[in-house]
C-alpha cells in the first residue's frame, strides 16, 4: 500500500520513501517508523505505542532508541515533518 502526505510518498511494498522527485534511503526500522507516523498525519503516537508497534513487545530496547531513529530520519528527510510532543511522543505533519 502507498501513503501520500503532501509531497511525501511512502510505498510500503517496495520500502521506498520519496519527497517530490527525490528518493530517500532509510534503514528498515526508520522506514517503519516513518510509515507509522505518516499513516495518521497530525496524530500523536505515544512513545510506548511506537516501541510496541515497531520493535514489538518481546524486544528490550534502550530509552533513547526512538530519539536516535527520529534524529537520523530527520537528517535523511531534510524536511521538518516529524514533531516532538515533549514527554508524550511524536507526530508527522506537513
Domain count for the chain, please give it: 1
Position 21 in a domain: no
pTM: 0.91
Position 4 in a domain: no
**Residue 45: pLDDT above 90?**
yes
Position 49 in a domain: yes
Return the CATH number at 61.
1.10.10.10
Position 17 in a domain: no
Query: b/e per residue, 53-85, with b = 16+ CB within 10 A?
Result: ebbeeeeeeeeebbeebbeebeeebeeebbeee
User: How far is residue 21's CA from residue 50's CA, in Å, rounded to a whole number?
Assistant: 29
Q: Name residue, grid cell 505515544.
A: 46
Q: What is the pLDDT averaged over residues 28-38?
A: 96
Q: What is the pLDDT averaged over residues 16-31?
A: 94
Is the CB of residue 3 less than 8 Å from the CB of residue 36?
Answer: no
Q: What is the pLDDT averaged over residues 29-48?
A: 96
Residue range(s) defining the domain that contains residue 40: 27-92
pLDDT of residue 58: 84
Task: For 83-93, write each residue's pLDDT tens digit.
Answer: 999 999 999 99
Position 77 in a domain: yes
Position 2 in a domain: no
Amino acid at each position: 500500500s502507498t501513503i501520500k502526505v503532501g509531497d511525501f510518498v511512502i510505498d510500503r511494498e517496495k520500502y521506498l520513501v520519496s519527497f517530490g522527485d527525490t528518493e530517500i534511503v532509510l534503514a528498515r526500522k526508520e522506514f517503519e517508523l516513518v510509515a507509522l507516523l505518516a499513516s495518521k498525519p497530525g496524530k500523536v503516537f505515544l512513545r510506548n505505542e511506537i516501541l510496541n508497534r515497531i520493535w514489538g513487545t518481546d524486544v528490550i530496547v534502550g530509552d533513547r532508541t526512538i530519539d536516535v531513529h527520529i534524529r537520523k530520519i530527520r537528517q535523511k528527510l531534510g524536511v521538518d515533518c516529524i514533531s516532538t510532543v515533549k514527554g508524550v511522543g511524536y507526530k508527522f505533519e506537513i
